[in-house]
Amino acid sequence: MSSFPTQFAGVTVVTKANVYFDGNVVSHTVVFPDQSKKTLGLIRPGSYYFGTGAAERMEIVAGECSVIPKDGKEATSYGAGTQFDVPANSGFTIAVRTGLCEYICSFLP
């Protein structure tokens, strides 16, 4: 299990939220001094499909979710302290059964 950061210092936070699926998925963009970006967000119960342009790493900070990669059939469960990667130009379906799932999304080179 990974140990994810509990805070980021010396960053800029974009105050306008990224709101998806009628507010069931909400994130904020964090910009680092090197201009790299991450989003910090939460997912309410439900099932949601996201397409990816860039490769992404999703780190689950709190809660639980299950993920089916684009064109996949089997769901894999992830809880706090775990992560999964999504290739560029792909996508995934993420589902939360109960509570909130909190995450950090990093855009990979």
Return the pLDDT at 2. 57
Residue 102 within any structural domain of the chain: yes
Return the pLDDT at 36. 94
Q: How far is CA 37 from the centre of its chain?
A: 12
Strand partners, 101: 43
CATH value at residue 48: 2.60.120.10
Residue 3 within any structural domain of the chain: no
Residue 86 within any structural domain of the chain: yes
Domain region containing 103: 12-107
This prediction's pTM: 0.92
Residue pLDDT tens, the chain, 109 long: 457 888 999 999 999 999 999 999 999 999 999 999 999 999 999 999 999 999 999 999 999 999 999 999 999 999 999 999 999 999 999 999 999 999 999 999 8
Residue 42 within any structural domain of the chain: yes
Q: Domains in the chain: how many in total? A: 1
Residue 79 within any structural domain of the chain: yes
User: Cβ(102)–Cβ(64) under 8 Å?
Assistant: no
Burial 14-38 (b: 16+ CB within 10 A, else e): eeeeeeeeeeebbbebbeeeeeebb
Residue 6 within any structural domain of the chain: no
